[in-house]
Amino acid sequence: MAKIRQLIPQAIIPRILAIQLPTAPCADVMVWPHTTSGHYSTKLGYRCFYDCHRQYPLEQGSPPHLHKGIHVWKSIWNLDLLKRTKVFIWKCVCGILAVKKGVYVRINQIPLTCPTVLILDFLF
């Protein structure tokens, strides 16, 4: 329990401990409690994420894109654009766009330079 208290914010621990466990063994069933159907959707998952962070504010040093209000994201998602364009914007703002430099930061075993493009390609 001491390890859990180190890793999880104190305000969230009572919510975890309040999860009811079955009294008798039974098969696990995946249920999303925030919908009447019990099915998960990315939109509702994202909304729950932001509701949680409004209730339990982010600690200092967390990514800056998480501090923006949900109204910014609503306006982005409501734009009349292709879905992949909206996802691209979201990935750019969140800093999770799969670019070589981003991969290098996570896995230091790849060269940062493009193996097929040489300096002469930029000049001519």
pLDDT in tens, the chain (124 residues): 777 778 888 888 888 888 888 888 888 888 878 788 888 888 888 887 777 766 655 554 455 455 555 567 777 788 888 888 888 887 777 777 767 666 666 666 666 666 655 544 444 4
Q: Is 108 helix (H, G, I), strand (E, B) or coil?
A: coil
Among positive and negative, which fits the CA dihedral 101, 107, 111, 115? negative
pTM reported for the whole predicted model: 0.34
CA 111 to chain centre: 27
* Residue 63: strand, helix, or coil: coil
Q: What is the DSSP string of 13-33?
A: HHHHHTPPPPSS--------T
